[in-house]
Each structure stands twice: as C-alpha cells, then as structure tokens.
Amino acid sequence: MRRIISWTTLMLLGVVLGAARPALSQSYFKEGKIHLVLSSHHDLGFHKGSYEAEMRFVFAEIDRALDLMKEDPEFTFAGEYTVWLMEYLARRPARVAELKQRFKEGRMEWGAGYTMPYPSLITSEQWARQMYLGPRWFKRTFPARASIYFNTDVPAFGIQMPQILRKSGVDKVFLSRSWNLGSVDTDHVNWIAPDGSEVFCYFMHHYGNDVGSHGKKRIGNNLAMASWVRSLETTHIARKIPPHLVQFLCMDCRMPKSRRESIDTWNAYARYRGLPLMQYSTLGQAMDAVKTDQAKLKNLMGEWPNKWVYEAAPSNYELITDQRESGRLLLAAEAFSTFRALVEKDFGTYPTKALDEAWKQSVFSCHGFAPRAVLKHYAEAYKGARNTGRTLLSSALGAIACRVNTGSKGLPLVVFNTLGWNRTDMVEMKIPAGSPEVFAIVDSQGKTVPTKKADRAA
C-alpha cells in the first residue's frame, strides 16, 4: 500500500509541476498571424483530360467554397485566373449574386490573368492582352479589384512581366518553381522590370507548403508547425519583415474543405507556447500584412527561361505557330481597321466583337498540352483566331487600297507596313499572267526598287 500511495503522490506531484511549468519563450511571430490560404491549381484541361471536364471540377470547387462560406463566416478561398469565373457566371446564374457578395466581403479572391500561359512562349502583345482581358472583365463584373497574379506551376517568367502587371493594376504575384533564394521554402521578394516597375512576390519552390522539409504535414501537426515557425524567425528579424506567415495550401484539383478544427487546435497550442495564431486569409490579405516600407526585401531583376519548352514548342510546332501568327495578325487587323474607320469617317464597320472573340481564342493558353482532346481544343482556337485575323486584315487593307491613288501608268502595287517604324525587309508578290519578261518596280517617288525574279518550281 505504501508503494501505491508513493507512486500516486509522485504522479499527482508531476501533474502539479507540469501545470506550473512556464510557457516556452515567445516567438517573434507571437503578435502576428499564420495566414492559412486555401486554393486549388488547374490547367486548362490537363488534369481531367479535357477542358469541359476540368471546368466541371472547377464549378464543383467554387460551389463547395461558397457552401463553406455559409457554414463558416471566416472561411476564404483563392482562385487562379478569370476564364473559369467567366464560364461559371454564364452557367451558374443562380449563384452570381452570392459570389459577388463574397468578393465584396474580401473572402473570395481571384487571380487577374485571363489564363495562365508560358509568358515567354507567346508574343509580347498576347501577354499584354492576357492582362487586359482578365482585369478589365473582373473590374466590370465584381465590386473588387484583381490585384494579384497567380503564376502557379509555370516555370517561366518574362523580363517585362512586372511592367505589364503594374500597367494592368496588379501589384502582387504568386510564383512557384522559382529562384532558389535560400534554404527556407517560402519567401517574399520584389521583382523589378527594366523600366523600374515593381511587383511584390510571394514565392515557393512548389505550390503547396503543407509538407515540411522532413516530409511531415504541418496542418494538424503542432510540432511540425512550431518547428516551421521557429525556422523563419532569423530571416524575418534580419529583414524587418512583419511577423506574419503564409501557409498556402494548393495542389492539383484540390477540393476546398474546412480547416476549422486544425485552426482551433493550433490556436489552443499556440497561445500556451507563445506562437502566432492562425486564421483564414486570402493570399492578397497575407501579402498586404507583410509588405511595409521598413521591410528589407530582396530585389530581383531578370527572367526565368521556360524549362518545359520541349513539351510545348517542338512537339506542337504547328499549334504554337498558329497561335503566335494569330497574335501578329490580330494586332495588324486592329491597326488597319482603325485606319480604315478614320479614313471613311465611320467606325460602324470596326469589327469590335469579332476582334474580342478572336483575342480570347488567341490567348487561350496554358502550360500543359498533353492530352489529345486538349490539343484539339487549342488547335481549333488558334486556327480560328488566325483565320479571323487574316480575314479582318484583308478586309481593312482592301478598303484602304481602293482609296490609294496609284496613277494610270503601269500595274499598281500597294505595300502596307504593320509596324510603327520604317522597314527594309523583303516583299513577295505573284507576277500576273501576261506580264512582260523584263520589268521594273518603282516607288511613289519614281525610284527603282531592287527586285529579283524567283522560280518557285526550282
């Protein structure tokens, strides 16, 4: 009996001493927050095998996020690019008002890009149109501003991306598969274009940081989360970065789910351990909490070549050629359609709707082309945009050419320059049947233009 009493006494004493043990030293992040950002990554038809299948999953994902927002007034969700929202609003009219309300509350966030392309694979104008179609539509549709660009999973960054982003009203960017800036798996940097334009970036080596360097999941694992928080203290203190951290949960086709239990469990643990509390946030809210004038962030300038170029360009040469050609043709069609309208003093003929639809086809771009059904979808879009560009450009040039006074001597030849500067490159033309063997071409000033007759059969 004495031994039993003795052990009982010791056990009780241990409980008392444990309760009286002081909390561990407080973390630098104690007064800040861990911002839990929930998202899901999608290619335009890559994961599910077709655009329609991928779109149906995204619709289910948005529906689930909206349902969770009803259940939990703090739940937030971040989407990647606007083409999915355009489709959702067109096919889910019953939930449009609800979706707009969530944007107004700041609980729903969406990336500004129209889609998510390889920036270095498309033309510069097509990249600019990406950031015209997306933000413009978003601004007209929702009571919110699309101020963040998601570059999830894309191993390519063009040198002028910050300039184009800032021109379109975007000042924050999420990057993954990015520069190796240190041993930690998250960081904040400023990315600067050659003209000095700057965007604030949250970058990761991949796009889901629920798993730490030792393969242990953090959400729901208090020890792994505490170790991660402590590992970032030195860097944040040295750079004077405010005490806020991001847990960005985003994997391929990840359906939203409540993390309330994990948040509450961690917060109970964190209060005792002197660690930061966790809350739902959008990525923009988390980045705004970090960005201050006092923070000494790293500045980056340059570009990141497309490491997956073999997948998209050589193996899909015709498809990419059609896309890039459509970008040049549509730009020329816009310019000469405008010139035609000015000459005719009538903008009633300007093909606004046709151009808008063709540009959407031209920049309907992603960073994955694997399934055959997806390739067919892209090929049809790019050929459609290219053909529209050719048709509209030919119509505008024909109308303008009819107004050019070429005189009555010789056979008239009108050459148009689609660029804004003088050009000296070669012009090809078919020699009309019945033309003399010896002939010369002269310009509008009467000067002879160097020519060479080529035999196509050779």
List beta partners, residue 186.
204
Is the same domain home to 108 and 235?
yes
Would you state the structure tokens that stand for residue 32, as one six-digit string?
């800040």
Domain ranges, residue 221: 24-301
Q: What region does 364 belong to: left with phi over 0, alpha with psi -120 to 50, or beta?
A: beta
Instruction: Return the number of other C-beta atoms located less than 10 Å from residue 400's C-beta.
Output: 17
Q: Check which CATH number belongs to the domain holding 361 and give it.
A: 1.20.1270
Is the same domain home to 274 and 378?
no
State the pLDDT at residue 154: 86
State the pLDDT at residue 33: 96
Q: 74 by DSSP, 3-state: which? A: coil
Is 97 within the bounds of a domain?
A: yes
Is the same domain home to 126 and 250?
yes
Give the DSSP letter of residue 26: P
Distant-in-sequence, close-in-space partners of 5: CB < 8 Å, separation ≥ 6: none
Give the DSSP letter of residue 190: E
Is 54 within the bounds of a domain?
A: yes
Is the same domain home to 370 and 278?
no
Is the same domain home to 281 and 332?
no
Helix segments in 106-240, DSSP class H:
124-141, 161-167, 222-231, 233-239
Is the same domain home to 292 and 348?
no
Domain end point (choices 301, 334, 369): 301
Is the same domain home to 128 and 205?
yes
Is the same domain home to 221 and 347?
no
pLDDT tens series, the chain, 458 aa: 444 444 444 344 333 333 333 444 688 999 999 999 999 999 888 888 888 889 999 999 999 999 999 999 999 999 999 999 999 999 999 999 999 999 999 999 999 999 999 888 888 899 999 999 999 999 999 978 899 999 988 888 888 899 999 999 999 999 887 654 444 445 788 999 999 999 999 988 778 766 655 556 788 889 999 998 998 898 899 889 999 999 999 888 999 999 999 999 999 999 999 999 999 999 999 999 998 888 888 888 888 877 777 777 777 888 899 999 999 999 999 999 999 999 999 999 899 999 999 999 999 988 877 677 788 888 999 999 999 999 999 999 999 999 988 877 778 888 899 888 888 888 888 888 877 777 788 887 888 888 888 776 54
Is 407 within the bounds of a domain?
A: no
The C-alpha atoms of residue 203 and residue 439 are separated, in whole angstroms, by 63
CA angle centred on 159, ends 251 and 38, rounded to 5°: 20
Nearest Cα to 249, choosing from 39, 34, 35? 39
Is the same domain home to 387 and 289?
no
State the pLDDT at residue 40: 93
Is 64 within the bounds of a domain?
A: yes
Q: Check which CATH number belongs to the domain holding 98 and give it.
A: 3.20.110.10
Is 4 within the bounds of a domain?
A: no
Q: 334 by DSSP, 3-state: which? A: helix
Domain end point (choices 301, 333, 350): 301
Query: With DSSP H G I counted as helix, E B as strand and the rest as coil, what are the percentages for the chain, rounded to 5?
Result: 45, 15, 40
State the pLDDT at residue 322: 95
Is 366 within the bounds of a domain?
A: yes
Number of structural domains (the chain) is 2
Is the same domain home to 38 and 131?
yes
Is 457 within the bounds of a domain?
A: no
Is the same domain home to 362 and 260?
no
Is 63 within the bounds of a domain?
A: yes
Domain end point (choices 401, 416, 447): 401
| CB-based burial label for 65 (10 Å; 0-12, 13-18, 19+) | buried
